[in-house]
Amino acid sequence: MLKIIWVILSLVLIGLIFLRTPQNQGLASFSTKSNLLGSPSSAEQFLNNLTVILMIGYFSLAIFLNFLN
């Protein structure tokens, strides 16, 4: 059961990392930083926090599963 959760977590992390946009895109980066139509910086902060939490969970499960074997 834990291995299934671990595999799903790794696939979600891979997808989340691939969907993230690069930080340096010239003028396109400047246009996405404007706060006129919402707050992209808060969405970016949420995605950063979610990525860190999922990575901690992934590595914790990897260490735990390593000690089981």
Q: Using DSSP, state whether 55 is helix, strand or coil.
A: helix
Percent of the chain whose pLDDT exceeds 70: 71
Residue 26: pLDDT over 80:
no
Question: Confidence class of residue 10 from pLDDT cuts 50, 70 and 90?
Answer: very high
> Rounded to whole angstroms, how far apart are CA atoms 51 and 45?
10
> Rounded to whole angstroms, how far apart are CA atoms 30 and 34?
7
**What amino acid occupies position 10?**
S
Residue 59: pLDDT over 80:
yes
